[in-house]
Structure 1
Amino acid sequence: MSAIGVTHLSKSFGGVRAVDDLSFTVEPGTVTAFLGPNGAGKTTTLRMILGLVTPTSGTATIDGVPYRELVRPITTVGAVLEATAFHPGLTARTHLEALRVAAGLASARVAHVLDQVDLTAAADRRVRGFSLGMRQRLALATALLGDPDILVLDEPANGLDPAGMRWLRGFLRAYAHQGRTVLVSTHVLTEIQQIADQVIIISAGGLLFSGPSPAGSDLEEFYLEVTG
């Protein structure tokens, strides 16, 4: 299974240092919570891991190679960075089918991922009528299409009701139990603390903490202590 490695990673936008000499590892078989205040550099870091932003210095790798060098990235890494990036006139099924064909995946994958995220009943509805929670589920289905070993998720609980959040917790925990790698950036600490094995906390683009999720303590309190 695949691991994520970030080594002395930095990114500047003009005179702004968004990520500053950041190093950490995300191991297979774990759910890792990626935490930090707004503007800490979390999304920029995720985008560098996914090859969407070029680092100023340092490296971000998947099993030792940059994302752009992966032979079939869709079968290695699935990502949710934006749950609104869908054509509103397409149905969920048509959206997934177009991606499946482009990637050369088996036809059964579309029905499978719709079932995984509990969207089968809404598969033939147009995305313009979806709630934010339903769009989150469709974004996750898109990430799962290639049956990847790694999931990289940015605020995946946005728009989910309590039942949806409970479902997401169970799903991510089960995914990691299969030996896969889950990296989740979130502000919903009460939810992630129930499933996180590892915690990475950054602020102002730099690393404050990387290690096991604090056992027997409140993650929010721990987070506040670390971030000051």
Structure 2
Amino acid sequence: KEVFGGTGMNILNPALLARAFLFFSYPGWMTGDKVWIAGLTKWGSVIDGFSGATPLALSAAYETDKLPSFMEMFIGTIPGSIGETSTVAILLGALILIITGVGSWKIILSAFSGALVMALLLNAFAVNPYLELPFYYHFVMGGFAFGAVYMATDPVSAAQTERGKWIYGFLIGVFSILFRVLNPAYPEGVMLAILLMNVFAPLIDHYVIQANIKRRLRRVKVAINK
């Protein structure tokens, strides 16, 4: 935040920007199948680590037949990054954010809607098992749900206009699925999708405001002509 001038001045989500820097600077440490759990007890670690392919890694390798069940992914009993595995916990957090007014339900709902539409389009033109994956699996795999709820709703870097929030969130969902499925070098796309839409959020707000101004001017002209 300080790089952009302090609190409330950042044009990009600071947490995601920091993660993007670490991801591209140290990809070997930021990604992989090993989950470190050392130091679980006061007597030391039970085991040093757990190795296993995440659902996204299996899907990217077209091994969708080896995926955990939908319920396992929804509850979160799967390998994955901190905070992203349990969709049910993420949805509970989303409910709290919406009730307290911290997070915009428009952005959350439109992000899931965009992912739904894009996944269905890919299903229609599927040429491999990953593209054939049912749309609801995309909601519980990887960090999409976490990003849509906690990162896309950042009040500073997100769109500010009400209509702009719908457009902003919808495009995050669309690009998340596109980057995830069609980019073989990067199995998850929600981080890049949110950062991309952070850049375009001011432009979205600008055109929404201009459209409102033009609509009101037309109403004024009609009223004058009457």
Higher alpha-carbon Rg: 2
Higher relative contact order (CA 8 A, sep 6+): 1
* Fold in common (TM above 0.5): no
TM-score of the pair, normalised by structure 1: 0.29
More helix as a share of residues: 2
